[in-house]
Amino acid sequence: MNGSKRYAVPAKYFKRLAPFAFLLGVVFSFPWVSIAAQPPRILALGDSLTAGYGLDTDDEFPSQLQRKLIAMGFAARVLNGGVSGDTSAGGLARLDWALADRPSHAIIELGANDGLRGLDPVAMRANLDTIIRRLQSANIAVLLTGMRAPPNLGRSYESAFNKVFPELAKKHNVVFYPFFLSGVAARPALNLADGIHPNRDGVAVIVDRITPYVVRLLNKPKQE
């Protein structure tokens, strides 16, 4: 405006601000630069054991695990990617849909229905192998949980089924939790009336036992 005073900024102040202006220019020139690291988003890809068959939402495995991790200081979100009745083939078929939530980590809990239906362990291995490879190709760290075959299917089937999980974990160098239902299977007080699905207390036992492995997953460098 006419008549207003003009103040000159000494050149020395521009020199002091120059390095900061350069840094700000770098940050805002690259949209992929994040000021703060994003909290982990853990996809729990599974069947009814993950989905929470017969349970309230707050009692499901993903919900209880998320609360446990937050209480431990991990600002993590656990995404419920469980579908009741799903097999390893079903988990593979909907993997793209599950990845739409852009997880940074994944827990694979599949195989129980393959065993209950007596499906071919060779096909189950191929399905899980593909799931792991696709997750790793997307730079998603993986925790694989093991399952055990029903004993009524015979020793040959049981042996072929049970060895799939540790062998895949070793092949792909992923965090491995040997048996998802450890401490819960065949314990009536920790299961629903069907004797198969864990109740709220059973899920709490699963969460307590698997949490150290989830912490390893969160702390594992992505390049491993």
> Catalytic site residues?
48, 194, 197
Contact partners, residue 217, CB within 8 Å, separation at least 6:
42, 105, 107, 141, 142, 143, 175
Q: What is the largest CA-CA distance in the chain?
A: 98
96 by Cβ neighbours in 10 Å (0-12 / 13-18 / 19+) ranks as exposed
d(CA 44, CA 58) in angstroms, rounded, equals: 15
**115 CA to centre of own chain:** 22
Strand 41-46 and strand 105-109: the pairing is: parallel
Contact partners, residue 50, CB within 8 Å, separation at least 6:
44, 60, 61, 62, 80, 81, 82, 107, 109
188 by Cβ neighbours in 10 Å (0-12 / 13-18 / 19+) ranks as exposed
Across the strands, what pairs with 46?
82, 109
Helix axes 200-219, 61-71, angle to 10 degrees: 60
